[in-house]
């Protein structure tokens, strides 16, 4: 039985960042991931992720997003990886939509530079879009895209450089108090490791490791598609097109500038299909594509080229769409997170630090009261 200071379960966006944060502090770290290195069966794949500061979901996220932006730049400097691309952001929809009102509220509350434009101006600046005549656009400068695969790899590199031991294809069966103190973690090959601290960042499976807490998590199947541009690729690439979200009668859609290898990534935010993460249909079906293409034909005809590729990822949602980031109240040394609800990747460097704080000391200077797990049982 090998002993560590800390064990991290799950090495996606937040687990890899947590492993890096722990290893940077000089701790002897073991990271365990049920899938292979670079495989993306949870919520951390799909090439690109949006980063934005004027967070329409709730103004509380804006300071964290601004701090995360700086941390991504630091990670780039530390590893040499190209992770963050600044593109600006467009959040468009009816003036009374949650997207538009929320983005303005966050921008005003936290002094985020922004501009409000009408539908005609959206079309003038970005002919790729055909918003509704009454649509309003919130334009944010401090927004862009993250290369998800490079981001995860960079955090893993930092962890390994600092001495962390990472094991892939190692499915954790359970954790339990160790007879001599600390915590034991057993994997499906029968290996048992012991540590003083445990960080649970298992994405859609995190609730399985703390069933006593009754976390109200719902896993959602999220199809994502890439389409070849129906216009010149340069006209919808980085430098010409921002990251964007658009609220419509059929829900909110989002997308990215053209990826030279894959095309234009477009998805319907929150498909509404709840699933078991172990039995999810991972094939994108014609109905999934049709839903996205119907939006494209009405509001973004520049993306109405052939489907180039697609994938299914997973959202892990809470009832209020806020994250769960907390320590186990009954067992010292355990921290856990479900920092998703479809908008958590961008915060990974911050969530990793918070989890490391909570696992080691049980406290953090970051403002996490809105993310406490017990809020659902008060």
pLDDT at 307 over 80: yes
Give residue 39's pLDDT: 74
Position 281 scores a pLDDT of: 94
Query: Is 169 among the domain residues?
Result: yes
Residues 222 and 94 in one domain: yes
Residue 265 near residue 259, CB atoms below 8 Å: yes
Instruction: Supply the pLDDT for residue 271.
Output: 80
Residues 324 and 208 in one domain: yes
| Residue 136 and residue 245 share a domain | yes
Residue 285 is classified by DSSP as P
Among 303, 237, 308, 266, residue whose Cα is nearest residue 87: 237
> Where a domain ends, among 283, 302, 317?
317
The predicted pLDDT at position 176 comes to 96
Residue 9 included in any domain = yes
CATH number at residue 127: 3.30.9.10
Q: Are residues 130 and 38 in the same domain?
A: no
The tally of domains found in the chain comes to 2
Task: Show the DSSP H helices in 233-335 as ranges.
Answer: 286-299
Same domain membership, residue 327 and residue 310: no
pLDDT per residue as tens digits for the range 221-236: 999 999 999 999 999 9
Q: Is residue 250 part of a domain?
A: yes
Domain boundary among 295, 317, 339: 317
The predicted pLDDT at position 290 comes to: 97
For residue range 309-361, list pLDDT tens digits in order.
Answer: 999 999 999 999 999 999 999 999 999 999 888 889 999 999 999 999 999 99
Residue 222 sits in the same domain as residue 131: yes
List C-alpha distances in Å: 126 to 78, 120, 161, 225, 306.
Answer: 35, 10, 43, 21, 21
CATH code for position 181: 3.50.50.60
In order of 19, 23, 242, 347, 355, the CA distances from 15 in angstroms are: 6, 12, 29, 12, 9
**One domain for residues 229 and 305:** yes
In sequence order, what are the beta bridge partners of 92?
A: 137, 246
Q: Is residue 270 part of a domain?
A: yes
**CA distances in angstroms from 326 to 15, 114, 346, 356, listed in the order given:** 14, 33, 18, 11
- The answer on 188 and 325 residing in a single domain is yes
Q: Is residue 173 part of a domain?
A: yes
Confidence label for 216 from pLDDT (cuts 50, 70 and 90)? very high
Kindly state whether residues 244 and 329 are assigned to the same domain: no
Question: Residues 268, 223: one domain?
Answer: yes
pLDDT computed for residue 339 by the predictor:
82
User: Is the pLDDT assigned to residue 172 strictly greater than 70?
Assistant: yes
Q: Give per-residue pLDDT as tens, 122-131.
A: 999 999 999 9
Domain containing residue 28: 2-43+149-215+320-377
* 154 and 204 part of one domain: yes
Q: Which of 302, 317, 332 is the last residue of a domain?
A: 317
Are residues 171 and 276 part of one domain?
A: no
Within-domain flag for 237: yes
The answer to whether position 239 is within a domain reads yes
Q: Assess whether pLDDT exceeds 70 at residue 78.
A: yes
List the alpha helices (DSSP H) in 114-268.
Answer: 119-125, 148-161, 206-209
Residue 70 lies in a domain: no
Q: List, in sequence order, the alpha helices (H) in the chain.
A: 13-24, 61-79, 98-109, 119-125, 148-161, 206-209, 286-299, 348-361
């Amino acid at each position: 039985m090998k002993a560590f200071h800390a064990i991290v379960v799950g090495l996606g966006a937040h687990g890899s960042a947590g492993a890096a944060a722990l290893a940077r502090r000089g701790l002897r770290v073991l990271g365990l991931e049920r899938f292979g290195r670079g495989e993306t069966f949870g919520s951390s794949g799909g090439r690109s992720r949006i980063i934005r500061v004027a967070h329409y979901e709730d103004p509380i996220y804006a300071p964290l997003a601004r701090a995360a932006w700086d941390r991504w730049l630091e990670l780039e400097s530390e590893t040499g990886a190209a992770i963050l691309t600044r593109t600006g952001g467009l959040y468009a929809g009816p003036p009374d939509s949650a997207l538009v009102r929320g983005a303005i509220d966050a921008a005003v509350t936290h002094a985020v530079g922004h501009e409000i434009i009408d539908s005609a101006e959206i079309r003038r600046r970005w002919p790729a879009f055909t918003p509704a005549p009454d649509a309003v656009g919130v334009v944010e400068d401090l927004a862009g895209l993250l290369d998800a695969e490079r981001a995860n790899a960079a955090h893993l590199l930092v962890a390994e450089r600092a001495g962390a031991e990472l094991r892939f294809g190692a499915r954790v069966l359970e954790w339990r108090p160790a007879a001599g103190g600390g915590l034991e973690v057993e994997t499906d090959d029968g290996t048992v490791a012991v540590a003083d601290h445990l960080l649970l960042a298992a994405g859609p499976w995190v609730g399985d490791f703390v069933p006593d807490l009754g976390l109200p998590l719902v896993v959602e199947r999220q199809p994502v598609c890439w389409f070849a541009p129906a216009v010149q690729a340069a006209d919808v690439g980085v430098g010409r097109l921002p990251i964007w979200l658009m609220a419509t009668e059929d829900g909110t859609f989002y997308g990215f500038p053209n990826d030279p290898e894959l095309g234009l990534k477009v998805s319907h935010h929150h498909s509404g299909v709840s699933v078991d993460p172990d039995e999810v249909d991972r094939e994108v079906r014609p109905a999934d594509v049709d839903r996205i293409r119907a939006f494209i034909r009405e509001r973004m005809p520049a993306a109405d080229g052939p489907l180039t590729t697609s994938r299914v990822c997973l959202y892990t949602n809470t009832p209020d769409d806020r994250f769960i980031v907390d320590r186990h109240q009954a067992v010292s040394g355990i921290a856990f997170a479900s920092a998703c609800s479809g908008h958590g990747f961008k915060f990974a460097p911050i969530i990793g630090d918070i989890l490391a704080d909570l696992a080691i000391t049980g406290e953090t200077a970051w403002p996490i009261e809105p993310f406490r797990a017990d809020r659902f049982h008060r």
